[in-house]
Each structure stands twice: as structure tokens, then as C-alpha cells.
Structure 1
Amino acid sequence: VTTYIMCIYSSPHDKNQAWVPKIVVVLSFSLACFAVLLLPLDVANRADPDILGSLGGGIDLALVWQICLLAIIVMVLLVIPFCIFYYEAMDPDAKCGGLGQIPAAIGYSLVLCVIFVAILCALWFTVGYTDIKYTAYSAVMLPAAAANATNPECTLCMKDSDQHLHIQVSIAVYAIALFALLGWVFLAVFGGVGMTALPLDLIMNWVHRPRPISLTEYARTKEKLGTVCRRMTEKGMIIEEEQRKQGNKITKKLSMKVNDFKNDVLRLEATFKRLEKSYKNKGESPWWGFFKLLL
């Protein structure tokens, strides 16, 4: 299923190439599915309390859970960051191919991993334990004569007291718990931002929706876009020349210029598509615009 989803949403330009990111995507989706499907499997595998000595399915799912969750941690902390940093540093004009991107990708990935390990070790050595409150019961069998003297109704004297069970959590379980906590924090932050930004984007899409324009306005706007396109072409040539002067080394300043240039290109393409839709398609359907506004 994950392979099928990846094939549907992959770009046609990536056909028969870029196998590493495709494998990473398939593994990521697979691990996410495993984490979800392990819960019903765990329920089905549990021992039946009505049957004495029942072992359930006999699968050590505690170990399976740890393997699955630790694999997710490795994927998120090492594999995915390495791929992101590796492909962000890609330079098609580089003479050494993709080998020059590996040291930077490994360095950034190790920095991220070291930060997580440092936080994990600091917390595990200080508060890496759990205190479980429980009630301890103690019973003493008394002789019949003594029982009749103290409590004629029973020969068993019981006492209870509140106790604390101090357990040191394993480093693997603590790493999983810490990673889950960080995941919930990021989900709350970015999920909240997304839930806030989505209605605003829909409203702005309705405000700036493509509307019917005349041929004169279409030609005038297209001429302006052509002027902007020529300026961006010159800007791209300047960036390319600057990169050649630096010996094809992508510095942070140059990388920011390239990213800004890419964003400008995307905005220009979006403006051109909106212009074409306004003239050739007579604008966007008003029903679709009002539907997005109501959402």
C-alpha cells in the first residue's frame, strides 16, 4: 500500500531515479502503519483472564513495540535529516557529483542526534525513574485462643500501609517516551498553526481569486510579467556567476539567495497561471470561490 501511494504522488520526472528518497518514504509510511496496527495486534495477543495459565498469542509484543518505536526514532533522527540535508546541498554543476554533499549531511545529522542524546542522557540520569504508589497488605495468622481474645470473628489479622515502588526506567523506554513527548509538542504547535492558517489561506484565495479580464488588460499584465521574467533571468545569471567565482561552493549567503530566487520563480509561475485562468477560462467559478470562503 505504501509503495502504491508513493507511486501515485511521485513526480513523473523522478521515474527510474531518486531511489533513496523513495525507499525512505516507503519505510516511513510503513513504520507509521506498523505503529498503528500494533495496537489491535497487542489486544488480540493478550492473555485471556478467564483461562488459567493462558499465554494469549505467545508473541512478545513488548519487544516488538520497542523495535518499532526505536526504528521510528532512528528514522526521524538520522535517516530523514540526512536525506533532507543531502538533497538541500545538491548542486547539479558540481564536479564531484553527490560526494561533496555527504560530509555536510552527516555533520548536520550528527549535530541533531547529539542534541537529542544529550537531552536524553541528562534527563535519564536525573529523573529517569518512576515512583508507583501502592498499598501493601500484611497478614498474620493467630492461634484460635489469641484470635478469640482480640477479635472473636476471625483468626487472620491484616494490616495495610502505603508504599512507594521506585523503578529505574530503561534507556530505551525513556527514549521512546521523550520522543513521544517531543512529537506531541510539535503536533500541538504546528497543528495549531495549520488550523489557524488554513481558514486564512482560504479567505485570501477567495479575495484574490481569478476574475474575468479583457484582452487589453491581459496583454498589459502579460507584458509586465515578461519584464519581471527578464529581470529574474538576469538575477539568476548573476547568482550563477557568483557561484562559479566561489568554486561551486554553496555558502549560507549564496544558499539564501538561491532559495529566494526559487520562491520568486514559484510566485511568478502562480501569477502567470492566475492570469491565464482569468482570461482564457473567464476567471474562477464563483461557486468554488464561495465554497472555499465557507470552509
Structure 2
Amino acid sequence: MLNWWLIVLIVVMPLICIGLAVYTIVYFQSEEDSKVDYVPKAVAGLGLVLALGSILLVPYDVANSPDPTVAHKFNQSLNTQLMWQIVLWMMAAMAVVVCPFFLFFYEAYDPDKPRVSTQFVHGVISTVVIVALFILIVSLCYYFKGVADINFQAYRGDPQMVLPDSSALTYTVNSIKSTVTISVSIYTYCIGMLCFFGWIFFFFYGGTGIVAYPINLIRGFKSRTKAIGASRFAEEMAIILAKADAMLELCKELQRESRGTISRSAKNKINILRNEVYFLEAQQAQLIWAYTKAGGSPFIVYGKLVLGMVCLVTAILWCLQIFIYNTFDADPFLNTLLLRLNDAFALCGICAYGIFAFYLTWSTFQGQIALGLRLLFFQIHPMKKHDTLVNAFLFNVSLLLITTYAVIFFVVESFRDYAAMTSINGLMNVFVIHLRGIGVFIRWAQFLFLGMSLLALIWVVACPKRKRRDPTKIRLDDLK
């Protein structure tokens, strides 16, 4: 029988993802290059569609999963296993090949000597190095550890010479724990390695952003911008102008010192100045907002407070899910919520799942920005309204694609009851989690995620705001 709900999902989901991707590009793109660089923007948009769409494919897989207790659901309507292979391979190609190529191609642009051939060669060489390293790592690991050690219960009993419907028939309860070693395909191992790399970014960035983002929203409401007059605006803008002039002189001095080969010390100074510029631009935007918008619309101001509270509740629920279900298996917890919503009306279950899954992805963005501004050896690529360059789009999309593997694994592991009998559950919870070597890290990465969240909570509470140095009093030798 034709499942009309699957048809609705397969039509609506791509439209939603494409709409979100186009809106993101248009909303954040810089006004300077709004009418140029269409190809790399299209690549970034495609990466966003793949990342968002892959997360939404989980409830689609759930809707298509077989259920022997329901009529007309004895088998799958569509080949979701092939669907996942196509999507996950496309994500890998975008994250490892396509996005890095366009990122290096764009950053190799020299306004004094604009040569497409030079940009192309730089992009190809840099991408080949990344792809070669990835293939080398995966090949060596697959050659030596390309198996999955799957645990199972082995039952033993004596043969019984009775009829199947006889009351004398008994069942054995004697069992022992055993392990079977199965060779996995290169596809399964590549997905496992991408989950491994994704978890490195996810527990680091996502663990920070999942608690820092809602707390910063709530704290931002308490210290929200108040309306100011013309005289105060002129005074503050004069101070910002003086700081900008001082930072411009520092940048020129650093440019003179960095001619030729750029040392590690010079790179650290560049990152420090980039951070200072980012904060100064944010301070200017906040000042203009306070003067022109009279402190801002109450819908936006109080909307951020509500958003912060919703995000805080979501973060708490995720932490409880890790303890209650993932660790001790005491109660299905959020699985029960999703299953009941899905039984009542499938769209409600998808919306609830989307809130939990998308919050993990958004937390990764916020954690990357927060840590990038605090740690000097990170190069930040913040997404700012109407002021985001193409390289920032490509960098953040690459990061999103890599962490999406970890997000998919995490939500499938946390929602095992909700995603039971699905193709992605078989891939992640049967093979990937039991891969020899990296499977151990993947199983325990969620606890590193919790530990990072705890450290981030302590960090945000203990160090709510870092005292900024006055750019007019900074010398280049002080930037170390």
C-alpha cells in the first residue's frame, strides 16, 4: 500500500532545507560580494542542504521502517539503506573535497595580481593534500582494524523430543556473553572515521555551545542595550573611531613585519587583531542599534530571552538523556515523548525531534565562535548579518558537515527506541559503534561531551566577560 505520509515527507523536507539554506546565505552574505561569487555560495548552500537534510532523514527513515504489528508495514516501502549511502557519501565529498577546494581557491585571491590560474592551482594542491591524508589514514586503519566486534547473548539448550504445541515444551534461559568479529565494508569504515573526526569537533565545540549559548542569551537580556541620545552616541562613536585608527596602525605595522614568510608568532598576532576587530565591530553595531532603534524592538529583546530559556531547557534534557538512557538505561525518557507524539500525529514527532537535533548543530556553531574568540590559535569565521564573506560560509559549512556525522550518530544512539528497525540504526548502533579501535572512542565520546559542557558552564559562570584591552594603548610587541 502506498504510504502518503512518506510522499509528503520526501517533498516537503527538501523544500524546507533549500529554503533555510537560501535564507541563510542571503541573510548573512556580505553586501560587498552580494552580486559576485555565486558558485562558492551555491556550494555552501548545497552543503547546508545536505547537512540539514541528513538530520531530517532520520524521522523519514522512522516513518519507512517496518513494523510487523501494523498492517501494510511488514516491510520497507523504499530502499533507505541506499538512500543513506548516497547522502553520506555526498556529505563526505563536500566536506573533504569540494568545500576545501573552493575555500582555498577563494583565499588565494590576490587583488594586486588577480589570476584565476594561480587560485586554481593553489586550491587543487591544498585539496589534494587534504584528500591524500584522509585516504592514507582511512586506508591504514581499515587494513589493520577494519572489523567490528559485536557482542551478543548465546543461548544453549538440550533438544526436546516433543511436538511444538506440547505443554511439555520448555525454553532455556541459559546464556553466555559472546563476541562475533565481522569484516566491514569500506563504506561503513569511512562513515566510522568521519564520526570519529566529527566527534572531536562536536564534543569540543558542541559541548561548549550547548550551555554557553543559552546562558549568554539570558545574560544578554539582563545587560541589554538601552536607548541613548545624540550626544552620548557622538561621544561613544568618537571613542570607537580612535580605537579603529589605533588598530589600523597596528595592522600596518604587522604587515610591514610580516613581509615574506609569516611566522607562528605573527599568525597569533593576526588572530588577536582579528578578534579585537570583531569585538570593535560588534560594539559599533550595538551602539548604532541603541541610537537608531531606541534599544530595539521588544519582540526581539524578549524573544531572545524566551529563546535562551528554551535552549537552556533543551540542553538540560539532553544531559538527562545521556545519564538516564544512554548510560544507565533506566528509562527511555525522550524516546517516550517522541514515540507518543509520533503516534498521535507524525508531524509533532518530527518537530520535537528537529528541535533536539538542530539545537546540537546550532550549539556547534556557537561553540566554535566562542572558543575561537577566547583561544588565540583558532582562526574565527563568525557569521554576521550582511557581513559574512564566502570563506566564512565555506569554513562553517565544512565544519557543519563533519560534525553532522557525530550529530546523526548521537541522536540515533540517544533515540534507539524511536529509531528502532531503521537503516541508520543498523549502521550506527550495530557496526560503527562496535568498530575495533575507533568504536571505543565513539562510545565514550558522549561523556567527553558532558565533561566539556561542565567545563563550559564553569567557564561561563566564572568568567562571564573578558576585559578588553584598549587598542589605543596596545603595542605590537605586547601581542604574544
TM-score range, shorter chain: 0.5 to 0.7
Partner of 1:267: 279
| Shift in CA distance, 209/184, structure 1 to aligned 2, threshold 3 Å | same
- 2 CA distance for matches of 1:45 and 1:69? 18
Alignment partner, residue 198 of structure 2: 183
Matched residue type, 1:275: L
| Cα distance change, pair 73–92 in 1 and its aligned pair in 2 (3 A) | same
Stretch moving more, 182-191 or 282-291: 282-291
Structure 1 position 113 matched with structure 2 position 128: no
Q: CA deviation at 1:6?
A: 3.6
Q: Which moved more, 1:269-278 or 1:258-267?
A: 258-267
Does residue 209 (structure 1) correspond to residue 228 (structure 2)? The answer is no
Matches within 5 A, 1:148-167: 165-167=180-182
Q: Is the 8 A contact 1:210 1:277 kept in 2?
A: no
Distance 2:305 2:80 in 1: 48
TM superposition score normalised by structure 1? 0.67
Higher strand content, 1 or 2: 1
d(CA) in 1 for partners of 2:229 and 2:63? 63
TM-fit CA distance, 1:282:
4.9
User: Where does the alignment leave 5 or more consecutive residues of structure 2 unmatched?
Assistant: 1-14, 162-166, 309-480
Query: Cα 1:41–1:277, aligned 2, differ >3 Å: closer, same or farther?
Result: closer
In structure 2, how many angstroms separate the alpha carbons of the residues matched to 1:141 and 1:263? Answer: 76
Cα contact 2:148–2:181 (8 A) shared by 1: yes
Mapped partners of 2:238, 2:63: distance in 1: 67
2:94 equivalent in structure 1: 75
Residue of structure 2 equivalent to 1:123: 141
Q: Post-superposition shift, 1:105?
A: 3.6
| Secondary structure of residue in 2 paired with 1:17 | coil
C-alpha spacing 1:67/1:193, structure 2 compared with 1 (3 Å): same
CA-atom RMSD in angstroms: 4.6
The separation in 2 between residues aligned to 1:25 and 1:276, in whole angstroms, is 30
What secondary structure is seen at the aligned counterpart in 2 of 1:100? Answer: helix
Paired with 1:49 and 1:282, the residues of 2 have a C-alpha distance of 61
Change (3 A) 1:98 1:257: farther
| 1:130 aligned counterpart, secondary structure | strand
Count of residue pairs brought into register by the alignment: 279
Q: CA deviation at 1:167?
A: 1.7
Contact 1:66 1:173 in 2 (8 A): no
Counterpart contact for 1:130–1:169, Cα < 8 Å = no
Measure, in 1, the Cα distance between the counterparts of 2:63 and 2:151: 27
Partner amino acid, structure 2, of 1:207: S
Q: Answer yes or no: is the 8 Å Cα contact 2:105–2:122 preserved in 1.
A: yes
Q: Look up the match of 2:337.
A: none
Q: 278-287 or 203-212, which moves further after superposition?
A: 278-287
Structure number with greater Rg is: 1
Structure 1 unaligned blocks of 5 or more: 143-152
Secondary structure class of the residue paired with 1:99: helix
| 1:252-291 equivalences in 2 (<5 Å) | 261-279=273-291, 282-283=294-295
In the alignment, which residue of structure 2 is the partner of 1:145? none
**Aligned residues of 2:21 and 2:48 also touching (Cα < 8 A):** no
CA distance in 2, matches of 1:37, 1:218: 46
Once the two structures are superposed, what CA deviation does each residue of 1:111-161 show, in whole Å capped at 9, x if it has no partner? 44344334433432235233454647799899xxxxxxxxxx99xxx9x99
Q: Give the fraction of aligned pairs with identical amino acids, expressed as a percent.
A: 26
2:117 is aligned with 1:99: yes
Give the deviation of 1:173 after TM superposition: 0.8
Q: How does 1:12-161 map to 2 (within 5 A)?
A: 13-36=32-55, 38-39=57-58, 42=61, 56-57=76-77, 59-93=78-112, 95-124=113-142, 125-126=144-145, 128-131=147-150, 133=152, 135=154
**Superposition deviation, residue 28 in structure 1:** 1.8
Distance of 2:203 and 2:55 partners within structure 1: 19
Look up the match of 1:195. Answer: 210
Q: Assess if the C-alpha contact under 8 Å between 1:206 and 1:293 holds in 2.
A: no
The one of the two structures with greater contact order (alpha-carbon pairs below 8 A, sep at least 6) is: 2
What displacement does 1:79 show? 1.8
Q: Secondary structure at the match of 1:221?
A: helix
